[in-house]
Amino acid sequence: MTLESLIPVIYLITAVTFILGLKGLSGPTTAVGGNRIAAAGMIVAVAATFATKAFGSYGSTGLALTIAGMVVGTVAGVAGGRLVKMTAMPQMVAIFNGCGGGAAALVSILEYTHEAQAGTGLAWGAVLSSVLGLMIGGVSFSGSAVAYAKLQGVISARAYRYPGQRLITGVVFVAMILLAAWLVAGAAGIVEQPRLLVLVALAVAALLAGLALVLPIGGADMPVVISLLNAFTGLAVAMAGFVLSNQLLIVAGTLVGASGTILTRLMSKAMNRSIANVLFAGFGAGAGAAVGAREGDTRTQRAISAEDAAILLGYAQNVIIVPGYGLAVAQAQHAVRELADMLEAKGVNVRYAIHPVAGRMPGHMNVLLAEANVPYEKLYDMDQINEDFKNTDVALVIGANDVTNPAARADKSSPIYGMPILNVDQAQNVIVIKRSMRSGFAGIENELYYDPKTGMLFGDAKKAVEQVIAELKKAA
Amino acid sequence: MNADVLLGAYVFILAIFVGFEVISKVPTTLHTPLMSGANAIHGIIVVGAMLVVLAVPGTLGAILGFFAVVLGTANVVGGFVVTDRMLAMFQQRPRRPAKAEEKKP
């Protein structure tokens, strides 16, 4: 029995490890094992493929290219995965996802060209898969690059809109589909087989489509977009699997496509929005503006000093900390942990309320606070803690905005109406640490800031928390 | 329609159902690691890249093949490393009580 003939069996085993891996990843106690088993399956499949190619059909050029490519890719993957700060994880997921999309697009291009040059005539089914793999992979590649750039701050995280944007997006997508149809029709013999230049044009159109799709979406929605692009890449990989008649690629790609779609729905549901709404509506563009201008804004906020905050916190019995994206940006998790330790030493009961979409990704806050060694038992989901706000002396909101906006509960005209929020406004006192009076990503005013019992402590989350710690130390 | 495509279609459809079933209930905390783990899994495209690395003769074909392998490998390696790192954050619980006691005196 040769290794070549064992390959399908090895691929089957790998497919099973992927299913077990995904299943494991969906439970807290099995997650680490799930990731490991999927990784093990991956290593076996890659090693077996490499071995058959290395001792079989590869010439020295193919071997050199593959080894060089794997070395470069491994260095990039390990460096990107290990060296990047924990707060930057969402954009790393985006960039690695883009890599997969790009690889799927390239595989589709190579296989199409290979078939076209063979001169034996193209099967339209294979061409359809290639064309889909190229389109979806290309959109995922450039879309992920934009998502990365937005989260990393390379370009503004704001929703990027320009006149005629919908028209241009529409034209790009229609052009992409027409080019794809041309290639498929060529293979089916309906029209003359188009030249390879058309394939290049399709690749360009797919990249443009990715840009057109993601640029108009604001930074706050990037988690949903990354999850969706993750599902796209899965689908592109499945298409590449069809092109190569490789069942493992079909299984793995489709699994990710399906589970990614569910995850995307779960995420947008946590924000009380549909996926279509995230993609096409442009949050706060219409209704948000109306809300902003609705009241004459004669109301004022109460700015407080770090000393005021320290006194308030020091004499409280129950404190709930509400972390948000501002905490992640300022890398304030360690400072927050220190503050909580000090308060606990004074006998204050400190807990954390985690909104499902706090930060940039579901679970983002849990990861950050875990990094700062905040005990897991002190982190509460929204449903677990929302009733307790009314018995809380101080709610300390650190860099969170839209998830605390009471308008979501009461104001039917608000664009975030219906989104589940943390009942911060029911606490006896509220301290909001915020960089400036700028509105959140939804682009709307937060009623909470005008509440008389709310004190605004302006400043960078980390510095502000450190100031409060310093004041607490002085008092002690 | 040839047998390969039909078999592929069966696999595709069944995998959709498996994908839907396997992650129907996920605690919010695990959404990000799950996304990252799924991200690593579609890195299997590297196998496809290895199969077609020399499919197109000439320098341009070789360059594209090389990049396909680079991108696929980066997807796999980066994906698993990031997921492992995220999950490691949740693994510190058993160590905690001991640490807290050390601090007390």
pLDDT, position B54: 86
User: Looking at chain A from residue 388 to 417, which residues have their Cβ under 8 Å from any Cβ of chain B?
Assistant: none
Closest CA to B48 of B76, B25, B81: B76
Assigned domain for B1 exists: no
What's the rounded mean pLDDT across residues A39-67?
88
Least confident of A216-225, A284-293, A373-382: A284-293
Please state, for a pLDDT cut of 90, what percent of chain A lies above it. Answer: 42
User: Looking at chain A from residue 344 to 373, which residues have their Cβ under 8 Å from any Cβ of chain B?
Assistant: 354, 356, 361-364, 366-367, 370-371, 373
A94 touches chain B (CB under 8 A): no
pLDDT, position A230: 96
Letter string b/e over residues A64-74, b meaning 16 or more CB atoms within 10 A of that residue's CB: ebbeebbebbb
Evaluate if residue A365 carries a pLDDT over 90.
no
Assigned domain for B61 exists: yes
Evaluate if residue B35 carries a pLDDT over 80.
yes
Provide the annotated active-site residues of A.
Answer: 402
Distance CA B89, CA A144 (A): 25
Length of chain A: 476
Q: What is the DSSP letter of A396?
A: E
Evaluate if residue A161 carries a pLDDT over 70.
yes
Letter string b/e over residues A286-318, b meaning 16 or more CB atoms within 10 A of that residue's CB: ebbeebeeeeeeeeebeebebebbbbbbbebeb
Contact A362 B32 (CB under 8 A): yes
Residues A122-137 have pLDDT tens digits of 788 889 999 999 999 9
| B11, B61, B71 member nearest A110 (Cβ) | B61
- Contact yes or no for A14/A42 (Cβ under 8 A): yes
- Contact yes or no for A225/A147 (Cβ under 8 A): yes
Model confidence band, residue A411 (pLDDT cutoffs 50, 70, 90): confident
Into how many domains does chain B fold?
1
Model confidence band, residue A340 (pLDDT cutoffs 50, 70, 90): very high
Contact A252 B44 (CB under 8 A): yes
Per-range mean pLDDT, top range of A339-348, A350-359, B22-31: A339-348
Which domain, by its residues, includes B72?
Answer: 27-103
pLDDT, position A413: 74
Assigned domain for B77 exists: yes
Contact A42 B50 (CB under 8 A): no
Evaluate if residue A82 carries a pLDDT over 80.
yes
Assigned domain for B8 exists: no
Least confident of A62-66, A152-156, A319-323, B52-56: A152-156
Closest CA to A426 of A397, A452, A389: A389
Assigned domain for B4 exists: no
Evaluate if residue B1 carries a pLDDT over 80.
no
> What single letter denotes the amino acid at residue A104?
A
Q: Which two tokens stand for residue B38?
A: 């799924």
Evaluate if residue A310 carries a pLDDT over 50.
yes
Evaluate if residue B96 carries a pLDDT over 70.
no
A61 touches chain B (CB under 8 A): yes
What's the rounded mean pLDDT across residues B38-63?
92
Model confidence band, residue B14 (pLDDT cutoffs 50, 70, 90): very high
Assigned domain for B15 exists: no
Contact residues, chain B, for A259 at CB < 8 Å: 19-20, 22-23, 34, 38
Assigned domain for B54 exists: yes
Model confidence band, residue B90 (pLDDT cutoffs 50, 70, 90): low
- Contact yes or no for A449/A425 (Cβ under 8 A): no
> Between A and B, how many CB-CB pairs are < 8 A?
377
Contact B75 A21 (CB under 8 A): no
Residues A234-266 have pLDDT tens digits of 999 999 999 999 999 999 999 999 989 988 888
Distance (Å) from the alpha carbon of B18 to chain A's nearest alpha carbon = 7
| B41, B83, B84 member nearest A18 (Cβ) | B41
Assigned domain for B41 exists: yes
Distance CA A92, CA A148 (A): 7
B59 touches chain A (CB under 8 A): no
CA atoms within 13 A on the CB side of A419: 26
Evaluate if residue B97 carries a pLDDT over 50.
no
Least confident of A7-16, A280-289, A296-305, A364-373: A280-289
Burial of A153 from C-beta contacts in 10 A (0-12 / 13-18 / 19+): exposed
pLDDT, position A203: 96
Contact residues, chain A, for B89 at CB < 8 Å: 86, 366-367, 370-371
